[in-house]
Amino acid sequence: MAIRILADEVVSQIAAGEVIERPASVVKELIENAIDAGASAIMIRTEEAGKRIIEIIDNGCGIQSDELEKAVMRHATSKLTNAEDLFHIHTLGFRGEALAAAGSVSRMRITTCTAEGNNGYSITVDGGKITGIHQTGTKQGTIVQVTDLFYNVPARLKFLKSDVTERNQIEILISRYALAYPNIRWQSTHDGKPGIRTTGNADYREVLTAIYGVDIAKKLIEIDLKEEGISVFGFISPVALTRSNRREMNFFVNGRWIQDVQLNSAIIRAYQSLIMVGRYPIAALFISMDPEEVDVNVHPSKAEVRFRSPDKVFGIVHRAVRRSLIFQSPVPEIHSNA
Ligand code: ADP
Ligand code: MG
């Protein structure tokens, strides 16, 4: 078989597949952009579980009109200038892929205005091709509308789950960001029905209440530990409040939600002998450390990281959780090895 260099369009679609797997991945990338843009209010609107419309409105810095075309190109970013920067990333984005990826598998419109800009501009992209740039009236900030996701990748469409499942994925994701950024006012609606709403007053309990309801939110135990330049802050459930799955164990490293099997087990070990096997706590843990101590450039979706000193991190998390549990728990500690 002859070896061919793939056409740009195919390359883009392959790359898009790594970043944009489902509607929730679009929402994730757009929310991250809004946060990176310094927004203090983010609104998310979806229709048909994001398959028909995903719209994110932020009041962040906006995109300059002469940069709009670049913003939707692959590997185009304002957040990274050289390879060295990869080791001290302070933004959620850095790969310069998301807008290009979203634009290549949907019909996308970005409407934006900067503080300095006298006018707003909008750019439309259809299946990866720019179809127009127009001047338009708009407030400072950015509106990204992604419609007909995967209309040109029917194979992807077939892999999507039911609207209920896809919508849940989106709402879970928004909840995570709302927790990580309680200083942002969040508002979501799905097919006109309200989802999460927060005021942006930086009150974690308020966001926890919006997500879990007041009964659970007030029971969650606050934890806070700082050791060796690593700080662990967050909320965990008391031993009497458990779940049948580990989905509600959430970790954030420097404001980024991540998945990490070892962090999961550090927490589960902290609950060992205090809760039944097969039960899991609710946890929202915010780990902060020097960005140089964590490599976020592991996977296109940026949901996995590598720690420079993993044992140190897991040790501190385990101790932070265990200590608070022992202190708070009415259950006497019998079989602990911590
Ligand atoms: P990345 O976030 O990795 O830089 P993206 O493709 O997500 O890549 O975005 C490309 C660029 O477009 C960003 O670097 C940023 O300059 C600009 N941008 C995207 N979304 C927004 C937004 N909501 N507000 C302001 N600027 C944005
Ligand atoms: Mg981005």
Residue nearest to atom 21 of ligand 1 (CA): 33
User: Does residue 46 contact residue 170 with C-beta atoms inside 8 Å?
Assistant: yes
The two structure tokens encoding residue 287: 């780990």
Q: Which pLDDT does position 93 carry in this prediction?
A: 87
Residue 285 lies in a domain: yes
CB 104 within 8 Å of CB 72: no
pLDDT confidence band for 164 (50 / 70 / 90): very high
Q: Helix or strand or coil: residue 262?
A: helix
What is the model's pTM?
0.92
Mean pLDDT of 54-62: 98
Instruction: Tell me the pLDDT band of 141, cut-offs 50, 70 and 90.
Output: very high
* Interval between CA 71 and ligand 1 midpoint (Å): 6
Domain co-membership, 128 together with 268: no
Q: For residue 209, how far is its CA from the centre of ligand 1 (angstroms)?
A: 31
In which band, very low, low, confident or very high, does the pLDDT at 19 lie, cut at 50, 70 and 90? confident
126, part of any domain: yes
Q: Which ligand is nearest to the CA of 71?
A: 1
Q: Does 191 share its domain with 244?
A: no
Residue 21's Cβ-count burial label (10 Å; 0-12, 13-18, 19+) is: middle
Q: Please tell me if the CB atom of residue 93 comes closer than 6 angstroms to any atom of ligand 1.
A: yes
Measure the CA–CA gap between 292 and 312, rounded to whole angstroms. 15
For the residues 228-236, what does the mean pLDDT come to? 95
Q: Does 189 share its domain with 314?
A: no
- Alpha-helical runs (H) found in the chain: 8-19, 23-36, 68-71, 98-104, 154-159, 163-180, 204-212, 214-219, 261-270, 310-328
Domain that holds residue 255: 220-328
Residue 266 lies in a domain: yes
pLDDT in tens, 279-297: 999 999 999 999 999 988 7
Which ipTM score applies to this complex? Answer: 0.99
- Mean pLDDT, residues 138-163 taken together: 95
How many domains are contained in the chain?
Answer: 2
302 lines ligand 1 (CB under 6 A): no
Q: Band of the pLDDT at 328, cuts 50, 70, 90?
A: confident
Domain identity same for 147 and 229: no
Mean pLDDT confidence for 250-278:
92
Judgement on whether residues 231 and 137 belong to the same structural domain of the protein: no
CATH for 254 = 3.30.230.10
43 and 189 in a common domain: yes
Does 202 map to a domain? no
